Amino acid sequence: MSKRIDGKAVAAAVLDECRAEVGELVGRGVKPGLAVVLVGEDPASQVYVGSKVRTCGELGIHSRKIELPAETSQEELLAVVAELNADPAIHGILVQSPPPPHIDEEAVVRTIDPRKDVDGFHPENVAKLVLEDPTGFVPCTPAGCMRLLESAGIETSGKEAVVVGRSMIVGKPMAMLLVAKDANATVTIAHSRTADLPAVCRRADILVAAVGRPEMIKADWVKPGAVVVDVGINRVDDATRKRGYRLVGDVAFDEVEAKCAAITPVPGGVGPMTIAMLMKNTLQAARQLAG
């Protein structure tokens, strides 16, 4: 039987660390602050933003939620970001993704002060990740994945890791973290056009699924005894559920679990870690901006 890596428990431990750190910062006269900007009324985004604001409140972090109508122009949104860049009470800025189609998301990211870019998407923070500069911000989901591996006692050094997915949000930064000097894995980034993707996945001692396809990775894609980190969260229609759907990852959990040494479930695996690491990044920003 494989070990289920409990993301809820690890996230709770991270938030306890954050709570203590908030107390230390406030004692030194620094009240950490996070601003979350939401453009439009996407229901999923509203849920995510609500969770972030609620977590800030639980930790004693000052939060500012800015809700803008879907027809907000690019110029209006950039003006809001510029105002937050200049606000000394705000240490972290997050513009909820995805914005409406007419918004150039890359331009928005580049406008955020990299010292307040707690998502870790600004080019300056991407460069710091590659350079292993600890003053940069690591994207929250990959950072959470690494914390899960650490919490489960998973050795990465010398292991072969395969990351399925090449996004700037998860896949590429995840690969950078695994290949870094303190992790020392040998990393392959795979994707939908990888030749014989199942065979590539079967090489992995550590398999990270971040491709956004429900239950794509089957048991015969997984090496016996591998560690599987499932980043995916997908809605699948299910008439037997009251809400009409169920949440599944990118991994066919029921069949893969019996084959691997450890696995993250969906839900309750990587998901809770994303907000926890966002809080960590916000406190890092507060410390660095306060000198």
Which DSSP symbol is given to 2? P
Tokens of 52: 């972030």
The span from the CA of 235 to the CA of 231, in Å, is 14
Dihedral sign for Cα atoms in the order 108, 113, 117, 122:
positive
On the 0-12 / 13-18 / 19+ scale of CB atoms within 10 A, 105 is middle
Tokens of 107: 């331009």
Residue pair 227/256 in contact (Cβ under 8 Å)? The answer is no
β-strand partners of 230: 209
Known catalytic residue: 6? no
Residue of 96, 159, 172, 250 marked active site? 96
Listed residue (97, 109, 89, 118) closest to 278, CA to CA: 118
Catalytic hit among 52, 116, 159, 259: 52
CA 5, CA 260: separation in Å to the nearest integer? 12
Q: Cα separation of 30 and 89, whole Å?
A: 9
Residue of 113, 116, 117, 119 with catalytic role: 119
- The rounded distance, in Å, linking the Cα atoms of 232 and 80 is 31
Helix, strand and coil percent figures for the chain, each rounded to 5: 40, 20, 40
Check if 96 is active-site. yes
Other beta carbons within 10 angstroms of residue 100's beta carbon come to: 16
Residue pair 232/209 in contact (Cβ under 8 Å)? The answer is: yes
**Amino acid found at 48:** Y
Catalytically active residues are 52, 96, 119
